[in-house]
Structure 1
Amino acid sequence: MMNMGNMQQMMKQAQKLQKQMVEAQENLSKQEFVGKSPQEYVTASFTGDKTLKNLEIKSEIVDPEDVDLLSDMIVMAVNDGLTQITKAQEASVGKYTKGLPF
């Protein structure tokens, strides 16, 4: 039978881990990530909680005859920004959740 001292120690460790995870997530949410399309024609700025804060489009990419190109550039910039956030999440919060079942 596990003694109560070990159980209490495990609970304290779990609480400490949870606090560290919350702090890591809060720090990540305060960071800014900028996704870019090729040649940086489009940039998309996000916060770490995946909120789109700004979308900039350079005028030279705006061609009324080729709206599909602009759409593609926007998608690339947004996806690049989201990928950066995901990698940062894995690096900061992932170390606490690695191996945990979900």
Structure 2
Amino acid sequence: MRGGMGNMQNMMRQMQKMQKKVAEEQSNLDATEFTGVAPDDMVKVTFTGNKQMKDIVVNPEAVDPDDVDMLQDLIVAAVNDAMKKIDDETNKTMGKYTKGLPRM
């Protein structure tokens, strides 16, 4: 019976270490900046890993008062590019902890 308690304590210590490591990696990921770009670099957006926009740069050539729809499309493309980069890095970094866990 004693061996069972020792194993349980070891397992709890391992879980605490893993939780701390997960929190550290998530914190690092949240602080990382990701830049998304639209075609021809007409719009660039910068987000943090926790999906907060930090900056947007619009190339003056993208500003055409007669074609606002194009500018809107460029912004959407840049934001979607940044979100994909964040998701890819999140899956790469944090996926090792969730691999094999059932989805809720």
Between the two proteins, the alignment pairs up a number of residues equal to 102
Equivalent residue number for residue 67 of structure 1: 68
Q: Distance in 1 between matches of 2:98 and 2:21?
A: 11
Q: Distance in 2 between matches of 1:99 and 1:52?
A: 32
Taking only aligned residues, the RMSD between alpha carbons, in angstroms, comes to 1.4
1:70-85 pair list within 5 angstroms: 70-85=71-86
1:50-65 pair list within 5 angstroms: 50-65=51-66
Q: CA deviation at 1:46?
A: 0.5
Q: CA deviation at 1:91?
A: 1.1
- Cα deviation, 1:34-57, whole Å, max 9, x if unaligned, reads 000000100010111110011110
Q: CA deviation at 1:99?
A: 1.6
Q: CA deviation at 1:59?
A: 0.5
Q: CA deviation at 1:80?
A: 0.4
Q: Percentage identity across aligned positions?
A: 50
Q: Distance in 2 between matches of 1:68 and 1:83?
A: 22
Aligned amino acid, residue 39 of structure 1: D
Moved over 3 A (4+): none
Structure 1 length-normalised TM = 0.93
Q: CA deviation at 1:67?
A: 0.7
Where structure 1 has 5 or more consecutive residues not aligned to the other structure, the ranges are: none
